[in-house]
Structure 1
Amino acid sequence: MVALAQLSGVVDEVVDASPWALSDADVVASLDAVHTLEQRLAAVKLGLVREVDGRGLATRQGATSTAVWLRERLRLTGRSARHLVATAASLDEGPPQVRSALARGAVTVEQAVVVAETVGALPAAVGPEVADKAASLLVDFAAQHEPTVLRRLGTRILDHVAPDLAEQAEAEALRRAEERALVDRHLTLADQPDGQVRVTGRLDGETASLLRAAIEPLCAPAGLGDDRSPGQRRHDALAEVCRLALRTGDLPEHGGDRPQLVVTVALEPLRNHLGAGTLDTGVRLTPDAVRRIACDAAVLPAVLGGESQVLDVGRQRRLITGPLRRALVLRDGGCAFPGCDRPPRWCDGHHIRHWSDGGPTRLDNAVLLCGHHHRVVHQGEWGVRPGSDGRPEFLPPAWLDPQRVPRRNLYHRRC
């Protein structure tokens, strides 16, 4: 306690110092020194937490667990308190050289946990001598590598300290990881009150690789002016992959063409740009979203009774498909929006003059647009019209070009 009081007095002097008066070199040196002291004090703190837990002080004082006691005592979140108890236990049960390195400030708390967990996961067959060598080598690696890289190096540590056991240990580790992935894999789609859906889950390595391979080519910014965040681009890429899968016609049961997404909307409000729609899941859509989906979907006129029961359903009409879609692909070559490189398979057929406004389903009233630019056009700032040669041309918004000079996509031109 005397030493801690003295340390507190020294900290008072440091807190009162003014960093702005330091040279660049002194600022960096001071940051390094504070960081090292922070790790050394963390070693002391973790030792005390372990002692509190080992003595059962928390339960003796009426708490249900050490984590609950720490949450109240140190004013932590429950998650932080549980992490503190787990970290203290991990280091206490780990190799002594790890605790020693943390006390010297030679490793950070995160690095110490990585080393302890890596050594603890080694097969029992390696023996304590090999485990100690692995711990010492990983502590040395910590001088150059941050925790993520250190953990990756730890997966191959036996190559350095026990090559004769490395292959067998790796095979066993891969087998255990595969078993865990088989049990842990899941995907949850949780409806939110605002109509959005929260996606959570865990993918095995193979499935994650498939997902990345499918969406990464679609995650690049779509030309100048694309201000979507990386997360938004991944969202849109996943949507386009799903659209492609639905378009193939190879999905089981409900697979095939577009009528797998069912939207209900009254016809007159749709024509007047006012009609919100309802998915078959009950989720409500804005009028703009309904009209965008309707661009390349089957329309089924239905007569509903007073309680919305279906009395009669007519045949579908107005779908950009078959020969018309093939003609669009030949003419546009892909997304026709200026500068876009998306291929035809990622594109929707868009009515230049919407079908609900009386627009015909003809080549001169249709254009291929990728999902992103389909949304852009439906937002209304960009205009699109057939040019004198029948090819689509786009009118930029006035804020981008006051003259609104028509633009074309030359990326897909074959001649």
Structure 2
Amino acid sequence: MRAGDCNLAQAEVIVAALDELPGDLDPEIKSKAEEALVGYATQLDPARLRRLGRRILDLIAPEIAEAEEAKRLAAEEAHAHKKTRLAMRRVGDGTTRITAVIPDAAADRLATNLEAFASPRRDDGTRTETGDYLPYDRRLGRAFCQMLETLDPTRLPIHGGDATTVIVTIDLDQLRKDAGIGQILGGAPITAAEARRLACTANIVPAVLGGASEVLDLGRKERFFTAAQRRALLLRSATCEAEGCDIPGTWAEAHHWLAWAQSGTTDLDNAALLCSHHHHRAHDPAYLHERLPNGDIRFTRRR
């Protein structure tokens, strides 16, 4: 540092890199590591020097580097396992804040899954009113919600005596209202429109109640479109059926054109293949939707 070949930030990086070396490392190897890092300080800025410091054993002692790296990774994974946690807190405005600490490998897997849903694709709800793409964090938030709805419940653990299931209770009169309200068992209230949307493809049990909370109808899996029907829908339309939407049909959801609450049947004549964005719009009372002569579905905001 006196000679001007190394500044304080670089010196701190070198000290940190040496401190991270295994405690039982041969002192001679540690001295070589220090000499090498000091030499590279004349060429590299602190950020690049820090990256080099993490791999310094590969340069000066490759014969032991792999074993030491394996031990370091094992220690990191054990540490990550102990620190893994997830907390949910209701904000009070209809949203819940989720905070999590998970291992890097799990985070990479989650990011890969979310980005499959969140990658920007034309006008599928990932653009703002000005035509710009939604910020990355907002796209990931929407993707997380969509991923939860596409989980296969048959591969989830038994919970409460049954395969993991969300039960939504709603009075029949409320279900038929545009502004009706339902209740997720053990959770938050939802609109009737959201309950009707979930009833199309989400793996829920819709429990329709009469005036005295008498169970009028407890939906079964037959209410959902079968795998064979899904394949038939894909043959009919390879993409989302909304006008101008080119989201692949394999990413889309089967929608009851006439809702089951209005005695709609689960058959191909009453089915529409819609991406998650347009499926939400189909159940949004702020929008009208109609079939065009070519089979596309046009959405129009109510005036």
Q: TM-score with structure 2 length normalisation?
A: 0.76
Q: Contact conserved, 1:350 with 1:369, CA < 8 A, in 2?
A: yes
Kindly provide the amino acid, as one letter, of the partner of residue 126 in structure 2. D
CA contact (8 A) 1:115 1:138 kept: no
Q: Quote the offset at 1:273 in angstroms.
A: 0.6
Aligned residue number for residue 130 of structure 2: none
Task: Indicate yes or no: 2:176 matched with 1:271.
Answer: yes
Does 1:191 find its partner at 2:90? yes
Q: How far apart, CA to CA, are the structure 1 residues paired with 2:35 and 2:146? A: 51
What is the number of residues matched between the two proteins?
287
Please say if residues 334 and 342 of structure 1, whose CA atoms lie closer than 8 Å, have aligned partners that are also in contact.
Answer: yes
1:235 matched to which residue of 2?
141
Identity %: 29
CA distance in 2, matches of 1:135, 1:238: 43
Residues 362-406 of structure 1, C-alpha deviations (whole Å, 9 max, x = no match): 4333211222221233335664433446x343245599xxxxxxx
Cα deviation digits, residues 116-146 of structure 1 (max 9, x gap): 3222111232425234224414534543xx6
Q: Does 1:339 align with 2:242?
A: no
1:173 partner SS? helix
What is the rounded CA distance, in whole Å, between the counterparts of 1:269 and 1:370 in structure 2? 26
Q: Which residue of 1 aligns with 2:207?
A: 300
Please state whether the residue corresponding to 1:349 is helix, strand or coil.
strand
Contact conserved, 1:352 with 1:384, CA < 8 A, in 2? no
Matched, 1:204 2:110: no
**Cα distance in 1 for residues equivalent to 2:302 and 2:151:** 37
Greater strand fraction, Structure 1 or Structure 2:
2
Structure 1 SS opposite 2:100: strand
**What TM-score results when the alignment is normalised by the length of structure 1?**
0.58
Change (3 A) 1:112 1:261: farther
The 1:382–1:153 alpha-carbon spacing in structure 2 relative to 1, beyond 3 Å, is: farther
Residues 341-364 of structure 1: CA distance to partner in whole angstroms, max 9, x if unpaired?
2343x4322233434355554433
Structure 1 runs (4+) deviating above 6 angstroms are none
Partner Cα distance (1:302, 1:398) in 2: 30
Q: 2:280 is matched with which residue?
A: 375
Tell me: higher relative CO, structure 1 or 2? Use CA pairs within 8 A at least 6 residues apart.
2
Distance 1:259 1:204 in 2: 25
SS state at 1:194 partner: coil
Aligned residue runs from structure 1 range 12-411, under 5 A? 109=9, 113-124=12-23, 125-127=25-27, 129-137=31-39, 139-140=41-42, 142-143=44-45, 147=47, 149-224=48-123, 226-227=126-127, 228-246=134-152, 249-254=154-159, 260-296=165-201, 298-303=205-210, 305=212, 311-316=214-219, 319-322=223-226, 324-337=229-242, 338-344=244-250, 346-357=251-262, 359-379=264-284, 383-388=288-293, 391-395=295-299
How far apart are 1:223 and its partner, in Å?
A: 1.3
Higher helix share: 1
Task: State the AA in 1 paired with 2:32.
Answer: V
**Paired residue secondary structure (2:71):** helix
Distance 1:350 1:320 in 2: 9
- Mapped partners of 1:240, 1:362: distance in 2: 24
Q: 1: CA distance between counterparts of 2:282 and 2:42? A: 57
In 2: Cα distance, 1:275 partner to 1:320 partner: 22
For the residues of structure 1 that align with 2:232 and 2:273, how far apart are their CA atoms?
A: 10
Question: Residues 291 and 327 from structure 1, CA distance in 2 versus in 1: closer, same or farther, beyond 3 angstroms?
Answer: same
Shift of 1:331: 1.7
Cα offset for 1:113?
Answer: 4.7
Given that residues 182 and 204 in structure 1 are in contact (C-alpha distance below 8 angstroms), is that contact kept between their aligned partners in structure 2? yes
| Aligned mates of 2:113, 2:296 — CA distance in 1 | 29
Q: Tell me which residue corresponds to 2:131.
A: none
| Residue ranges of structure 2 left out of the alignment (5+ in a row) | 128-133
DSSP-derived class of the 1:301 partner: strand
Structure 2 letter corresponding to 1:277: G
Q: Is the 8 A contact 2:172 2:209 kept in 1?
A: no
Verify the 8 A CA contact 1:301 1:313 in the aligned structure 2. yes
